[in-house]
Amino acid sequence: MLGNFTFFNPTRLYFGEGAIKNLKGELEKYGPTVMLVYGGGSIKKNGIYDAVLSVLKDCGKKVVEDGGVMPNPTSKKLEEGARIARENAVDLILAVGGGSVCDYSKAVSISAYCNDDPWEKYYIRFEEPTCKIIPVGCVLTMVGTGSEMNGGAVITNHEQKLKIGHVFGTEVFPKFSVLDPTYTYTLPKYQMVAGFYDIMSHILEQYFSGEDDNTSDYISEGLLRSLIHSSRIAVKNPTDYEARSNIMWTATWALNTLVAQGKTTDWEVHMLGQAVGAYTDATHGMTLAAVSMAYYRYIMPFGLKKFARYAVNVWGVDPQGKSDEEVATAGLVAMESWMNEIGLVMNLKDLGVTEDMIEGIADATLIMQGGYKVLTREEVVDILKASL
């Protein structure tokens, strides 16, 4: 049954090769000072930095730079960015990068004028912003998180060994995002396929939850099939425009709140992966991949009919003469085979997790309520151990 919901997404998207030409029109809507946020400097090597800076200069903007955003943005970096934004009275934060840069920029937007400790307010107490919010725009260079069209912002606190995401309301969504698939071509394969799995995980964590057999599920199955097909092409030819553009568009729809409508959603894989990330600083998509098979095999009996449907409608498993359990199991085998095929990390040891970390990672794992099975802490430990 489809649950009741209200759907609204305020982000304007400019999609396709050459989409950067639309940036000027958006910049003209905002005041003179723009905070340019980016990561480790790859955009300076591939020419994207120069392209963006050229548009900023054409618009006569004063540019305040905040580079060096790490793949798992920290609370310390957030404090630094909030100070830069506040002291320079920036009118717009322009994120140029992947999901981490977009997440970080949204976190800065609600922290610059926050009268409380942003980490405590937003990530421990999960409160909503009550202060002035600086508008954010994105120029995307890596796909996976869907951060370009949602209110999510994940921050890591190394001192507390916590990595926590807060999904804020539509007032925190980017005002606009520029999506040019060719901007993703130079991404290293490891990061590319990690992003592919992040997309899959987003869809699955909305698909495998309550309220089955609704429109959201049918959309999700189509998105998954598109992702699987295009990922196989992109791994062999990273500059295949059709594959990369389809993946970029799938990533946005995977987490712009559309397929969550009418669903309770289950984000336990993300909670497990983020806890691993807090301890290892490993690439986000790979932490998800490393725990997924153990998690889904554990909860499969509690949502057996849905897992059987997934096997048939997404992986093409023939159900003839098979029990639901056999069909569902075959679906997970097919999923695991695809994961190995595209080069994902399949166990926690390869991410640096050791046996003595398991208890701490379990303590850092938030228990979610929306799935077919609400885990106990002991079950979290068992899943983590099975993921080693």
Which ranges of the chain would DSSP assign to H, the alpha helix?
Answer: 23-27, 42-45, 48-58, 75-87, 99-111, 118, 189-207, 215-236, 241-254, 268-280, 284-299, 304-315, 324-342, 358-363, 377-387
Q: Which domains does the chain have, with CATH numbers?
A: 12-183 (3.40.50.1970), 189-387 (1.20.1090.10)
- Does the predicted TM-score (pTM) go above 0.75? yes
SS3 368: coil
Burial group, residue 288, by CB count within 10 angstroms (0-12, 13-18, 19+): buried
Per-residue pLDDT of the chain (388 residues; tens, 9 = 90+): 667 888 899 999 999 999 999 999 999 999 999 999 999 889 999 999 999 999 999 999 999 999 999 999 999 999 999 999 999 999 999 999 999 999 999 999 999 999 999 999 999 999 999 999 999 999 999 999 999 999 999 999 999 999 999 999 999 999 999 999 999 999 999 999 999 999 999 999 999 997 677 899 999 999 999 999 999 999 999 999 999 999 999 999 999 999 999 889 999 999 999 999 999 999 999 999 999 999 999 999 999 999 999 999 999 999 999 999 999 999 999 999 999 999 999 999 999 999 999 999 999 999 998 899 999 999 999 999 999 9
| Single-letter code of the amino acid located at 210 | G
3-state secondary structure of 8: coil
Parallel, antiparallel or unpaired: strands 162-167 and 152-157:
antiparallel
The CA-based angle 86-87-91, given to 5 degrees, is 55
Q: Contact 351/287 with Cβ under 8 angstroms? A: yes
φ, ψ (nearest 5 deg) of residue 102 = -65, -45
